[in-house]
Amino acid sequence: MKFTIYGSGCAKCKQLTANAEDAAKAKGLEYDIEKVTDTNAIIDAGIMRTPALAIDGEIVTEGKVIPADEIQQLLT
């Protein structure tokens, strides 16, 4: 499983990263995290608001920090 976090590296981006890690650990999943901070790469991915989270290349949320339990639901 691969999580991609899109954002500038702000506190919200860090919280979203932590929530994704917590969700994967709670499910017992192996995962990789990629952080994309380059503005052009974020725009090229079609992200209009950060922070954003993609799971295995599919953007699942943007513009907000979702809690770990919501991320867990997306992993099923």
pLDDT tens-digit map of 43-53: 999 999 999 99
Tokens 């954003």 — which residue? 52
DSSP structure class, residue 51:
S
Question: Rounded to a whole number, what is the distance in angstroms from the first to the last CA of the chain?
Answer: 12
Instruction: Find the mean pLDDT for residues 42-71.
Output: 96
Q: Which two tokens stand for residue 34?
A: 């990629």
Task: Please give the domain boundaries of the chain with CATH numbers for all domains.
Answer: 2-74 (3.40.30.10)
Query: Are 17 and 33 in contact, with CB atoms under 8 Å apart?
Result: yes
Task: Report, as residue numbers or ranges, the catalytic residues.
Answer: 10, 13
pTM for this one?
0.93
